[in-house]
Each structure stands twice: as C-alpha cells, then as structure tokens.
C-alpha cells in the first residue's frame, strides 16, 4: 500500500483545504497514516501552547487566492507567474499561506521529516534531557555528607565484616539517612530487615526491608540523639509479626 507523503500529512494537520479528497479518504481509512496524523496534530498543539500561540495560527484567505493556487497547480510550471492576491489583514498575528510551489521549495531547503514542528519538538526534548542529566549528575548537587560510618560484622566470635553503614545528613538530627551496603546474601524463605536499636538494648525501630545489596533509609528525627545508634540487620520470616525475630545477621554501633 502506498501511503500519503509527509507533506500531505503536514498539510492536513495544519488544516489546509487544498488537500485532495483522495488523500483525505486514504488517511481516514489507513491506520498507519491516521496514527501519524494524530501524532502530528498532538505535537503541533503542544508546541502552539508552549510558545504562547493563543490566537489563530493562520488566517483563511478569500476564495480568489485559492483560485489562483488551483490555477498554478494546473499550469504545472508555466512561465507566467501568479499575481499575488490582495493582502489579508489579520485581526491577530498569523502565518501566511504559501503556494504549493513555495511549500515544495521550502521543503527542499529544510531538514527532511514529517514537518518542521516535529523536528523542533525533537530538539526541545534533547535539550530538556541534557539539562535534566546535568541536574542529576552535577557533582555535589544533593549529596548528603557522611556524619558517621561503621562496619557491620557478624555476632559470632569471628566478627567477620559483612557490610557497612553510613549515617548521612546534618548533626541536628533532621533529614538524616542511613546508607547500608552488604555483601551479596540470600534471605532464604524470608527477608532482611534494617533496625536501629537503642543503647539501652530494650527499644528499637525498624527502618525498612533491605531488598538489595545497597539501600538508603530515612532516619526518624532525633533518633540518633536519643541513643538509637546500633545498626542491626535481621533475618525475618513472613509470619505477620512486626517484632524483631532475634535472628541478627550483622550489627554495628555508629560512633556518634
């Protein structure tokens, strides 16, 4: 199946009335062309809204101008040029309607593609991606300083180090985070939970589930200053019991 050209789709999206009925019927009945036309119309509308084009995008010319355009098309390159019609005075700034020959010449001089606004949209997306990338990867942008760090070791006699815990944030206790990194381990039939245990050994608070080898958890305000400085990783079962299982995998005390 031969689809309509990019120029025809662009003309329909702009609302040009000089598109032939055969091309319009094809677009209406062809799923591929209909989808492309819908994309062009959507992108065109977004760009018009973005640049503040609230008024009419174009002014419909009088019937005498369309007669001249049709005569030019019939002449198909005749030497006699079409005299310009009387200028239309738009109520608001508008885009002039070029002739078919002018549109073809313009297409030859501009980048290939469905239409100029599609190229502009792609360029805008690339620029936005670059700016976002710079914001995300800018050094020192939102990185919290390390307040304290402690190795996480097993509770047996070997005291083998299996991970580390870093306290991030300010000294005031607000907006602090705990970054936990461990050696690869399998939780078996359960899961690994991260806790902060108070120095009195009686109180504790759960920070969350460690689902990978590295994760960062928000620390409750003033928890560290109130003595919750022992970082504990425990092996828990899916038993609907929120309490600590008593099966600690590794532990370390933050030097704060």
User: Diameter of the chain by CA atoms?
Assistant: 101
Strand order in the sheet with 204-210: 204-210, 191-198, 228-236, 248-253, 146-153, 161-168, 177-182, 214-218
Percent of the chain with pLDDT over 90: 35
Q: Which residue has the higher pLDDT, 121 or 236?
A: 236
At 21, is the pLDDT very low, low, confident or very high (cuts 50, 70, 90)? confident
HEC states along 39-68? HHHHHHHHHHHHCCCCCCCECCCCHHHHHH
CB 170 within 8 Å of CB 225: no
Query: What is the per-residue pLDDT across 79-135, written as a single tens digit (0 to 9) for each?
Result: 444 455 455 454 454 444 444 445 445 544 444 444 445 545 544 444 444 343 333
| CB count in 10 Å sphere of residue 153 | 15
Residue 226: is its pLDDT beyond 90?
Answer: yes
Higher pLDDT, 244 or 5: 244
pLDDT at site 111: 45
Q: Could you tell me which residues come within 8 angstroms of residue 73 by beta carbon, excluding any fewer than 6 positions away?
A: 100
CA–CA distance, 203 with 232 (Å, rounded to integer): 12
Cβ pair 188, 153 in contact under 8 A: no
Tell me if the pTM is above 0.75: no
Q: Closest Cα to residue 162, out of 210, 217, 200? A: 210
Whether the Cβ atoms of residue 231 and residue 150 lie closer than 8 Å to each other: yes
Helix 21-29 to helix 6-14 angle, to the nearest 10 degrees? Answer: 90
What is the Cα–Cα distance from 225 to 149, expressed in whole angstroms? 16
Taking the C-alpha atoms of residue 231 and residue 228, their distance in angstroms, rounded to an integer, is 8
Is the confidence at residue 70, as pLDDT, over 60? yes
Return all residues near 241 (Cβ < 8 A) that are at least 6 apart.
Answer: none
Task: Please say if the pLDDT value at position 155 is more than 70.
Answer: yes
Cβ count within 10 A of residue 110: 11
Q: Which residues pair with 58 in a beta bridge?
A: 95
């Amino acid at each position: 199946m031969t689809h309509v050209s990019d120029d025809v789709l662009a003309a329909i999206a702009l609302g040009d009335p000089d598109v032939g009925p055969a091309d319009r019927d094809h677009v209406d009945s062809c799923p591929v062309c209909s989808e492309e036309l819908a994309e062009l119309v959507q992108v065109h509308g977004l760009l018009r809204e973005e640049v503040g084009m609230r008024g009419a995008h174009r002014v419909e010319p009088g019937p005498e101008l369309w007669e001249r355009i049709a005569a030019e098309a019939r002449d198909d390159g005749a030497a006699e040029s079409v005299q310009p019609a009387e200028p239309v005075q738009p109520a608001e700034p508008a885009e002039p309607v070029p002739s078919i020959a002018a549109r073809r010449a313009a297409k030859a001089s501009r980048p290939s593609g469905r239409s100029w606004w599609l190229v502009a949209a792609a360029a805008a997306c690339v620029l936005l991606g670059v700016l976002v990338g710079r914001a995300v990867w800018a050094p020192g942008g939102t990185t919290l300083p390390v307040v304290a760090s402690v190795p996480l070791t097993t509770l047996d006699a070997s005291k083998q180090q299996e991970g580390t815990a870093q306290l991030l944030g300010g000294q005031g206790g607000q907006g602090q985070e705990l970054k936990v990194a461990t050696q690869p381990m399998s939780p078996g039939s359960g899961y690994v939970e991260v806790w902060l245990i108070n120095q009195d050994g009686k109180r504790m608070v759960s920070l969350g589930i460690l689902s990978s080898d590295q994760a960062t958890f928000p620390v409750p305000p003033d928890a560290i200053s109130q003595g919750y400085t022992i970082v504990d990783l425990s092996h828990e079962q899916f038993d609907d019991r929120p309490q600590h299982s008593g099966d600690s995998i590794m532990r370390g005390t933050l030097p704060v």
